[in-house]
Structure 1
Amino acid sequence: MADDYKNFEELRQVNNYESDYHLLMGFGTSGILFMTPHGGGIESGASELCMFSAGTKHSYYALEGWRSSGNTALHITSTHWDEPNGTRMVKESKYTVSYHGYASSAKNTKIGGRDLKLMQLVKANFEAAGIPCELEPTTSNIAGAEPTNIVNKNKRRMGIQLEISTAQRTAFFDTNTRSERRNTTNAEFDAYVNAVVSAVESYAK
């Protein structure tokens, strides 16, 4: 399905900040950024993954859908995505992980991007933790392999994109609503975040 907006400026002109959408940001000093262009109600769980992955050491960013319904209309594909604050944070980061969601009733994560070594490290950690995953072929439209994808615009010109199924994201929270997700994360969520963060931190040393 085609996006309603081809860039952030189009979205901004017809939506209201803090009623339709919101920006969530935190700043660390490690050079590691966890981000999502599709947070809040756009792709549920992505914002929480960014925040908890960052903790107190790393940076996080999310553009969140805050509508009571219809948040998927705020989706801007990552190759066209250009919100200024997030774009600046990506450009200033060395290691970048972008969280996304895709529709599936089976638990799975499709690992993509251009940072091939980090992709392999995350895959190994997922497999060790029993988290279903696969490397996404670069020909896939959700592989995140394009140089124009926002996740690949960091200082090293390569990041990783994690596309997480509906079933997997739903399993992360005891109450899967925008207001309660961050308060009801569970052991499955913690294991997932730990697998990603430990891979990135070991890679960035």
Structure 2
Amino acid sequence: MADTYPNFEALQAVEQYDTDYSIIYGLRPSSVLFATPHGGGIETGASELAIESAGENHSYYCFEGRKASGNTTLHITSTNFDEPNLMRMIPKFDYVVTYHGYGDSAVAHTKIGGADNELKERAKTALTNAGFSCEILPYTDPIAGVEPDNLVNKGRRGMGLQLELSTLMRTSLFDVNTAVGRRTTQNATFKAYVKAILSCIPYQSRGR
């Protein structure tokens, strides 16, 4: 399904900040950024994963849908997502990891993409060793995230790691999959998933 808005400027002209969407971020000392352009109610679970992965050491950014329903209208594909705060942030980081979701309620699975081939292999190994189903997408896949203008590849190194989690995979991370529940019922599966991803991300200080 085509996006409702081609870019952030078009979205901002129609949708109301703090009512329909919000933007949250935190800057930390490391050269690692965890982000999602599809947080909140757009692709549920993506915000929580980005924030938890960042912890106290890494930076995070979440564009979040806040509508009671119909948050998919706020989806801007990663090659067109150009919200100014994120665009200013990304070039400062060596490692960019983005969380996304795709529709599959039958299989708990992660599709690994981005242009950082080494990091993709490390993520696959880490997730597999932790007992999670995953695959590295071929470059020809529509959601492989290898395009230079995909936000995940706009960091200092020109390549990043994109993680697409199925509906069932994201649902399994929480005991209660609601806006409030996702903040308060993050379970052992959630913790194990984040731990696996963190284990494959090099920690580097930005000298701050």
TM-score, normalised via structure 2 length: 0.96
**Secondary structure of 1:191 counterpart:** helix
TM-score, normalised via structure 1 length: 0.97
Q: Does 2:54 correspond to 1:84?
A: no
Match of 1:8 in 2: 8
Q: Percent identity?
A: 53
**Secondary structure of 1:172 counterpart:** coil
**Secondary structure of 1:200 counterpart:** coil
Report the Cα distance in structure 2 between the residues aligned to 1:132 and 1:67, rounded to whole angstroms: 31
Report the Cα distance in structure 1 between the residues aligned to 2:91 and 2:82, rounded to whole angstroms: 11
Structure 1 residues 56-205: aligned runs within 5 Å: 56-104=56-104, 105-201=106-202
Superimposed CA distance per residue, residues 72-104 of structure 1 (whole angstroms, 9 cap, x where no aligned partner): 010000001100001111111110000000001
Report the Cα distance in structure 2 between the residues aligned to 1:50 and 1:78, rounded to whole angstroms: 16
Deviation at 1:201, TM superposition (A): 2.9
**Secondary structure of 1:111 counterpart:** strand
Q: Which runs of 5+ in 2 are unaligned?
A: none
Q: Which runs of 5+ in 1 are unaligned?
A: none
Report the Cα distance in structure 1 between the residues aligned to 2:116 and 2:93, rounded to whole angstroms: 14
Q: Does 2:17 correspond to 1:17?
A: yes
Match of 2:32 in 1: 32
Aligned length: 204
